[in-house]
Amino acid sequence: MDWFDLPLFPLHTVLFPRQSLTLHVFEQRYRTMMEWCLLQEVPFGVVLIQAGDEVGNEAVPHRVGTVAWIQELTQFADGRMMVKAVGRQRFFILYSAYDGPCLTARARPLYDREEAFREIETLVARVRAQFHHYCAARRPQNQASWHIPRDPARLSWVVAQTLELDAMERQRLLASTRASERLLVLSSWLDHALHQMSRSERGGGECG
């Protein structure tokens, strides 16, 4: 089948594929949801809230989110949890509803459209070079641990989760089904960030 059901965790943040996420879970409905996911060995969906709040009231999510698998769960004496999860496959919500206290969705996987690497090879090389300079300016002491992917899709997610973009910018990237489109946007953001860093250095200030 090309659809699946999963419980949703609406948040004021966007989770990208392969990105890690730490959640402080204190509402009973989400504690129950996490326990169920762990027991059944199933994932949950992370979605950006379009309208509403994370706590209490019902939230309306954006229609594209990311499947998250629990990697580690720590429960405290008062019932609160710290959950470490990692993003995997993106999904598109066909419809959603509150099944009891939690939002659930019927969704289908969201894949990138096929693009020949040779058609975007130059763009990949440009973004990799820009990102290398960005990391060098931000975290020069960690240079030995850098790994900048060559795969266009993976590269776009690594860069996107590193840049300081607002939630709606991140959501637009998440919903894009072309790696080349995401890389063009990210190249523009990297160019802007590097320009700001260069100006800061010339002015004697510290890089953000």
Q: Are strands 102-109 and 81-99 parallel, antiparallel or unpaired?
A: antiparallel
pTM across the whole model: 0.89
Task: Collect contacts of 62-65 with beta carbons under 8 A, ≥24 apart.
Answer: 62/171, 62/175, 63/92, 63/93, 64/90, 64/91, 64/92, 64/93, 64/110, 64/171, 64/174, 64/175, 65/8, 65/15, 65/90, 65/91, 65/93, 65/107, 65/174
**Least trusted range by pLDDT, from 5-19, 137-151, 185-199:** 137-151
Whole-number percent of the chain with pLDDT over 90:
76
* 56 — pLDDT class (breaks 50, 70, 90): low
* 116 — pLDDT class (breaks 50, 70, 90): very high
The domains located in the chain, with CATH, are 4-109 (2.30.130.40), 117-202 (1.20.58.1480)
Distance CA 75, CA 73 (A): 7
Nearest to 94 by CA among 79, 105, 80, 82: 105
Overall average pLDDT of the 34-51 stretch = 94
**Least trusted range by pLDDT, from 142-146, 149-153, 156-160:** 142-146
* 142 — pLDDT class (breaks 50, 70, 90): low
CA dihedral over 9, 13, 19, 21, signed as positive or negative: negative
Task: Give the start-end residues of each E strand in the chain.
Answer: 4-11, 20-25, 44-51, 60-61, 64-75, 81-99, 102-109
Overall average pLDDT of the 52-65 stretch = 79
Q: Which two tokens stand for residue 6?
A: 């999963």
The answer on pLDDT for 11 being more than 90 is yes
Overall average pLDDT of the 76-85 stretch = 95
